[in-house]
Amino acid sequence: MFDFDYEALRAIGLTQYLINQLHALAEPPRPGSALMRIVEVQRDHLTVHDGHGERQARALPRLTAMLQAHADALAVGDWVVAETHAGEECWIATRLEPLTQLARRANDGRRQMLASNVDTALLLMGLDLDYNPRRLERYLALTQAAGLEAVAVLTKADVGDAVEQRMAELHARLPRRIPVLALNGQDASAREALAPWLGAGQTLVLLGSSGAGKSTLSNTLLMAEAQLTGGVRRGDGRGRHTTTARSLHCLPGGACIIDTPGLRTWRPDADETEVAASFDDIAALAGRCRFRDCRHRDEPGCAVRETVPADRLLNYHKLLREARRGQQTALERKAETAKWKAIGKAGRARGEEKRR
């Protein structure tokens, strides 16, 4: 029988869904094994938590190989079964299937895991030079495609520009179901504003660019200086990447929060259907277009173009292109690149011919 301290593990996010998986494992855990949660991933080791404390561990090669075969990898937030071998070394032998996974696609199409078993994504954007509604829409579309609840959090409300105007812009632009909050990440009132999502057993992830205030907000919620913070550049408001690794922290109220490094790019780890579904206003209007197969580009009688702001529609088409590219194989991406090179070359040749 595999024993574990339910109350201690529940405090770091253990749910009945995960317990059911544990009892259904094809191979029962070895005697002396322990159920743990990954709280940090480094290149040469992982940090795991058993509900009482942290320790370093490594993944067994067979587990790593099995995950890689399915374009998967261990991530912060994963629940694992760890074994203690000779020399008191801790080895991760099994990963429980995540309820949710947040990932992105690299330039070569590989999946890069960001976090697992997350309930809510706090999408941070500063009310200074960091303000960018299109980037917030991108984060929203991709977190919703991963099955996460999302909350738009505008930081630096105490020093930001045109706070009320920008709040009104986002309320009009984003789906009504998405909460939009403006707060000062250094003030205790931030804990009160986010209280509905900080229930015991909940796991949140902070996402945003460098300098958006993720680590500052983490420290405020933790009521401790757990994460390093830094200033932003005067010219463009960007941060200096004080957070270099994703890490999970336990809040005093029983919730867990995952802080992440600033995201420079975030290509969709979702197909076109999943991305399109996150733009529910466009999906609702599409039924009123004149043509059933309207692509919302230059077709006459397009209800989407008549109603949706051009900037939001441009963002929609860009995400669909990236999602389509992310699903291609390396050979398909190579063929598409060659096709567009040929088209460009032919266009230049026609231009030169006209000039002659």
pLDDT tens across 63-91, in order? 999 999 998 999 999 999 999 887 778 99
**8 A C-beta contact, residue 111 and residue 71:** yes
- Has residue 205 got a pLDDT over 90? yes
In angstroms, the CA 147 to CA 96 distance is: 18
Looking at the chain, the domain(s) classified CATH 3.40.50.300 span 102-259
In angstroms, the CA 216 to CA 17 distance is: 32
Looking at the chain, the domain(s) classified CATH 2.40.50.140 span 6-99
Looking at the chain, the domain(s) classified CATH 1.10.40.50 span 272-350
- Give the 3-state secondary structure of residue 82: strand
| Percent of the chain predicted with pLDDT > 70 | 90
CATH topology of domain 272-350: Ribonucleotide Reductase Protein R1; domain 1 (1.10.40)
> Which parts of 147-202 are beta strand (E)?
149-155, 180-182
Helices (H) and strands (E) in the chain, counts: 12, 13
Place of tokens 């804990």: 191
Q: Residue 22 has what pLDDT?
A: 86
**Which CATH number does the domain 102-259 belong to among 2.40.50.140, 3.40.50.10860, 2.60.40.3500, 3.40.50.300?**
3.40.50.300
Rounded to two decimals, the pTM is 0.80
DSSP-derived secondary structure letter, 239: B
Please provide the CATH number assigned to the domain covering 6-99: 2.40.50.140
Of 109, 134, 78, the residue nearest 309 (C-alpha): 134
In angstroms, the CA 42 to CA 54 distance is: 14
- Give the 3-state secondary structure of residue 192: helix
Q: Residue 292 has what pLDDT?
A: 87
Buried b (16+ CB within 10 A) or exposed e, 30-50: eeebbbbbbbbbeeeebbbbb
Whether the CA torsion 324, 330, 333, 335 is positive or negative: it is negative
In angstroms, the CA 355 to CA 348 distance is: 11
Our measurement of the distance from residue 56's CA atom to the centroid of its chain's CA atoms, rounded to an integer in Å, reads: 25
